[in-house]
Amino acid sequence: MTAFALTRTLPEDTTGAALRADVLAGLGRTPKELPPKWFYDARGSRLFDEITTLPEYYPTRAEREILLARSAEIAAVSGARTLVELGSGSSDKTRHLLDELHSLHTYVPVDVSASALRTAGQALAAQRPGLSVHALVADFTAPLALPDTPGPRLIAFLGGTIGNLLPVERAAFLASVRRLLAPGDLLLLGTDLVKDEATLVAAYDDAAGVTAAFNKNVLYVLNRELGADFDPETFRHVAVWNSEQEWVEMRLRSVLGQSVKIPALDLTVDFAEGEELRTEVSAKFREKSARAELAAVGLAPVRWWTDEAGRFALSLWGVDEAGR
């Protein structure tokens, strides 16, 4: 029998309610902004998968290089019997880890998409006899209640997604992860590293225009879900490096003065010509700054690895000696 279970901790309309709240708050601010999670409907997910194969987009290849080289060491150091993956999606990245975690009892993929969890989780359970897959439909940025599974646990947060959180959000998220860790448990964290501006901007503004289509996809989501009348052709994709904050920003710039109606919110939003809507922040890290942020929530470094070119880092963190 396939050892697969799915637990839903999000009410059915949570996604719709969150979208409405984020649009109402974000488009009412100056400057305007939206969180990047709204890129990822089915079309957006396909576009992002395409982005990961582009020559300019190095993070996926760099992280895979480290996983291929270090998964056996990660398995040996962690001794994990439970692997929890936050924002698991298709669970593709963790297959290298699963191959090496010979003592693994349970895999807990966590994602907001029940369909993605069911597809990936059932396939893994069928392919790996003896592995229990307990999928959790949840928002990993909110406090999590994990299923009762054997320790030690390895919690994986890969892909550099930590960089999509603003500093105050990162601190809250890391503190919530720290609360999930018992002594002996570890966090496996993927972080994109600071590098030259040209490389960074190109990764978010590819020559083929796939990232531009991905960025504009949020407008199609608002049109479909909220009845908005955005014309994506009147917005231009912009990617810029903020050297002070050390993050890349993706924006949509209105090429003309226009008013957009959003009937589901009884809202009209005005855009001046040249006005920008920020859709994503992607922070880049240095080893020193990463150590400081994790130490602030009571996490201590165990291992730090980069790919050969030093573009991306995977790191292991445990409960610090003070037990905070």
Q: What are phi and psi of 98, to 5 degrees?
A: -60, -35
Residue 321 has a pLDDT of 66
- Both tokens of 286, joined, read 């240095």
Residue 1 has a pLDDT of 42
Q: Report the C-alpha gap between 52 and 188 in whole angstroms.
A: 21
**SS3 per-residue string spanning 72-109:** HHHHHHHCCCEEEEECCCCCCCCHHHHHHCCCCCEEEE
Residue 206 has a pLDDT of 98
| Chain segment 285-313, per-residue pLDDT in tens | 999 999 999 999 999 999 999 999 999 99
Check: CB of residue 282 under 8 Å from CB of residue 192: yes
| DSSP category for residue 257 | -
| Chain segment 2-26, per-residue pLDDT in tens | 588 888 877 666 678 889 999 999 9
**Residues of the chain scoring pLDDT < 70:** 1-2, 11-14, 321-324
Amino acid at 209: G
Domain at 1-324: CATH architecture: 3-Layer(aba) Sandwich (3.40)
Residue 164 has a pLDDT of 94
| Burial category of 17 from C-beta neighbours within 10 Å (exposed 0-12, middle 13-18, buried 19 and up) | exposed
